[in-house]
Amino acid sequence: MQKVSICHECGRTIDSEFPFCPWCGASMTEEIPLESAFDEVFSRIETTRESQTVSRIAKLEDELGALDKDLSLFLSGTAT
């Protein structure tokens, strides 16, 4: 069975014997507690998720505003 580690920079799993992460190039010789690595990765995931949620909400608000405008024009009878 192959042993794996988690890169402390990018959070990807890699072979424990690699001296550097093949994804981001970080040195793997520095020992970092596993719990600390997980905390950092989960923090990055949460930040990304929150920013994507805000982006989706803003996009939906724009689309809703355009639909509201179209509906107002349609109901007033001035739609082209």
Same domain, yes or no: 50 and 69: yes
**CA 74 to CA 68: how far, in whole Å?**
10
Tokens of 54: 């805000």
pTM: 0.45
pLDDT at site 36: 74
Same domain, yes or no: 25 and 53: no
Same domain, yes or no: 48 and 23: no
Same domain, yes or no: 39 and 21: no
Same domain, yes or no: 57 and 73: yes
Radius of gyration of the chain (CA): 24
Same domain, yes or no: 37 and 75: yes
pLDDT digits 0-9 by tens, 13-34: 888 888 898 989 888 877 666 6
Helix, strand, coil abundance in the chain, percent, nearest 5: 55, 10, 35
Which residue range is the domain that position 12 belongs to? 1-32
Domain count, the chain: 2
Same domain, yes or no: 19 and 41: no
